[in-house]
Amino acid sequence: MPKDAIPTIGPAHVAIIMDGNGRWAQKRGRPRLFGHHAGARRVREIVEACPDMGVKYLTIFAFSTENWKRTQVEVAGLMSLFRKYIEREAKALVRNGVRVRFIGDRIRLDEKLVAMMDELELLTSHNDLIHLTIALNYGGRDEVTRAAKRLALEIEQGRLTHDEVDAETLSRFLDTHVLPDPDLVIRTSGEARISNFLLWQSAYAEYEFVDTLWPDFSRTEFARVLASYGKRDRRFGAVSA
Ligand code: FPP
């Protein structure tokens, strides 16, 4: 077991807002995409660290429903990076027992990228060591709205009555319906906001805001954040035992 492994019970599901790629590049006098490429290399390192750290589910925010407002060059560069990531990492993900899922609305994504996402989900569908979920064209409000629409259709078509709608029923219509709720949400780069990420699912999550820019967020720092989570007392609205 590596020396930074977390021997005690840590968070089973960690979600990460990978922020700070642009500033990381800017500090080096390079274009923003240079930072996104460095960020993609960190994704690999953090995914590979998960089994040693007791993290079974990792959910990462790669592209939000609001990120379309960036320049056309940056958006196109990010989309091309996602395609390259899938191409480059697919074999290792299959080999390393990583099950990949994508959440978010695929409707606005390029057909070729969507086909690659579907293929990667299928290729890794028998894996169970780590569950990596990549949020792509994802927004929490958008996800809940899409879920509510589908729920309304079920009622309209007589498959469900309005009396049967409760939190559990609504959860079944979310993109994350097969995942447990996140235990810990980490945001890098010193910003303390959640930016529409997993709004419903994070109702009882712990949050960690770290100053490090995402391309500098190492396995060692990941281990430190997970260790500090272990010291928290999660009460889910109840009182301590
Ligand atoms: C936020 O940093 C980051 C993004 C919008 C993109 C996240 C993408 C990656 C880490 C690249 C690779 C991901 C995968 C899954 C291959 P920012 O650009 O807002 O940084 P800034 O706040 O410093 O400008």
Q: Which atom of ligand 1 is nearest to the CA of 67?
A: 5
How far is residue 80's CA from residue 196's CA, in Å, rounded to a whole number?
Answer: 24
The verdict on whether 183 is a catalytic residue reads: no
Sorted by sequence, the CB contacts under 8 Å of residue 219 that are 6+ apart come out as 4, 45, 46, 48, 49
Phi, psi angle pair for 213, to nearest 5°: -75, 145
Model pLDDT for residues 144-172, shown as the tens digit of each residue: 999 999 999 999 999 999 999 999 999 99
Active-site pick, 4, 67, 105, 127: 67
Q: What is the pLDDT of residue 10?
A: 73
Residue nearest to atom 5 of ligand 1 (CA): 63
Sorted by sequence, the CB contacts under 8 Å of residue 171 that are 6+ apart come out as 177, 200
The residue whose two tokens read 């729920």 is: 151
Q: Are 117 and 175 in contact (CB under 8 A)?
A: no
First CA to last CA distance, the chain? 32
Topology (CATH) of 13-139+181-229 = Undecaprenyl pyrophosphate synthetase (3.40.1180)
Say yes or no: CB of residue 85 within 6 Å of ligand 1. Answer: yes
Say yes or no: CB of residue 20 within 6 Å of ligand 1. Answer: yes
- Sketch the domain layout of the chain as residue ranges: 13-139+181-229
Q: Which atom of ligand 1 is nearest to the CA of 35?
A: 18
Q: Are 206 and 36 in contact (CB under 8 A)?
A: no
Model pLDDT for residues 78-117, shown as the tens digit of each residue: 999 999 999 999 999 999 999 999 999 999 999 999 999 9
Q: Are 207 and 11 in contact (CB under 8 A)?
A: no
Say yes or no: CB of residue 19 within 6 Å of ligand 1. Answer: yes
pTM assigned to the model: 0.94
